[in-house]
Amino acid sequence: MRMTHATMYARVLAGDTACNGRFFFGVTTTGIYCLPACKARKPKPENVRFFPTCEAARATGLRACKKCHPDDFARGADPVLESIETLVAEVRAQPAAFADARALVRRSGFGPTRVFELFRQHYHATPADLLLRARLDAAKQKLLDGDAPLLAIAGDVGFESPSVFHEHFRRLNGLTPAAYRDLRSAQSFAIILPVDFLLGYLRRALSRDIHSLTERLTGDTYTAAVQLSSGPSVLTLRLGTAVIQVEFSTGSAVEIHALVIGLLGLEQDAAAFARLAKKLGLARLVAGRAGLRINQTPSVFEGLLWSIIGQQINLPFACQLRRRLVERAGTPLGDGLSAPPAPAAVAALSPDDLLPLQFSRQKAGYVIQTARLVAEGKLDLVALRSLSATRAERTLLAIRGLGPWSVNYLMMRALGFADCVPLGDTGVTSGLQSLLKLEVRPDIDATKRLMAVFSPARSLATAHLWQLPQPLPA
């Protein structure tokens, strides 16, 4: 919709940030052009001219304002991404308003092929999958918020049949809708595992640092000290082949459930990835581990610490640095277990505290600076999960100390994004070399090209490549 001169001028007077990027205005008396929300003194209407782009403003001899930096903004503006983000926000707010993926495509205003491509690129998902997850998330909220009958909830969020609702809910959440509602007052609960679940790989992931201070696997009992929004808690999982029993010392069962689902990777479509690999003639990649899932870190902050600590060093040394950080800033909970450090505890450290623990000065600085961003509320880690992958990636790449490897590692291990490749990762490059029998290890460009066939499931491809040289677990 075109805005009139009067409307645009009113938006400028209002300092409307939502109009930034939609148009620019120049002031003939000062020779400057600005964003609509510029904080500089408001010009008189007779001195204002409007432009669709910075280029158009410059062409008339105007210069960019040094206060609002219209050129910088214009470079980052991304109207196509924004329209997809708006559409996804609508879907999540009112999933029942979309009968199916076709309705979503129609609403987008793009052609079907383009919409699929945009969803793949920006949300690592198909429109149908995003819609399904939006329905299930809305249902979860309704289950917790009141006592509406399950049948009504299924319909309210757009499921055609209660059995379809029930089946998808159970598959991605490990329990029935009724059992999920019971979490409101539960002190323990049980997770039903999918038939293809690989307990051996879970055990391997849960015992990857046998000296860990935060977690311990003894027989079939896994104990972990975790940081919840309410503070530290001790989580106990009793591992069975079909069911996992979950107990916890304190905190909300709903929050614990989300953590455990992430730890088990239940929301990932492992079966679809195995089918894709076979279709590509790469059955060896998934042989013996078709149900492999990426175990999400217990909190996003832990994933963030890992993604910085793990840069440029091997796994045993990374585990050692992490243990020392837990000793220095974690919360001892007795019985030899400590909860991992909360952001505020790391933010309170100085680099000199970490140098004796064998952190490099640079790594110490990055760990502490990022923890400060989180502790001061300047980086909302949980909110990153609901952003588009593109926006989450841009937000993280803007942080000092987080390069493409760390950002993609964090996105796949802690934020649940499905189509990430930690570029430059030696496990990925040596995995590709072995899988595809390449003479030389692929460089960054070759890695990008070779991994493209796995899109939008490159995170699982990465996880399989990491496991490729390992023997199958017992």
Positions in the binding site for Zn ion (CB under 5 A) = 34, 38, 40, 65, 67-68
Nearer to Zn ion, 73 or 110 (CB): 73
Nearer to Zn ion, 38 or 420 (CB): 38
Q: How far apart are CA 279 and CA 292, in angstroms?
A: 17
Nearer to Zn ion, 27 or 143 (CB): 27
Smallest separation, CB 66 to Zn ion (Å):
8
Q: How far apart are CA 338 and CA 258, in angstroms?
A: 21
Nearer to Zn ion, 42 or 324 (CB): 42
Q: How far apart are CA 235 and CA 329, in angstroms?
A: 20
Smallest separation, CB 38 to Zn ion (Å):
3
Tokens representing 207 are 């015992």
Q: CA 143 → CA 150, 175, 193, 247, 259, distances in Å?
A: 8, 13, 21, 21, 18
Q: How far apart are CA 25 and CA 157, in angstroms?
A: 43
Which residues have CB under 8 Å from 248's CB, separation 6+? 187, 188, 233, 234, 235, 236, 256
Q: How far apart are CA 25 and CA 51, in angstroms?
A: 6
| Backbone φ/ψ region at 377: left (φ over 0), alpha (ψ -120 to 50), beta | left
139 Cα distance to chain centroid: 21
Smallest separation, CB 101 to Zn ion (Å):
42
Q: How far apart are CA 457 and CA 217, in angstroms?
A: 30
Nearer to Zn ion, 26 or 310 (CB): 26
Q: Is 470 exposed, middle or buried (0-12, 13-18, 19+ CB in 10 A)?
A: exposed
Smallest separation, CB 10 to Zn ion (Å):
17
Smallest separation, CB 391 to Zn ion (Å):
25
Smallest separation, CB 75 to Zn ion (Å):
16
Nearer to Zn ion, 37 or 357 (CB): 37
- Phi then psi for residue 400, to 5 deg, are -65, 130
Q: Which residue is nearest to Zn ion (CB)?
A: 65
Smallest separation, CB 8 to Zn ion (Å):
15
Nearer to Zn ion, 40 or 318 (CB): 40
Which residues have CB under 8 Å from 282's CB, separation 6+? 435
Nearer to Zn ion, 39 or 400 (CB): 39
Smallest separation, CB 1 to Zn ion (Å):
24
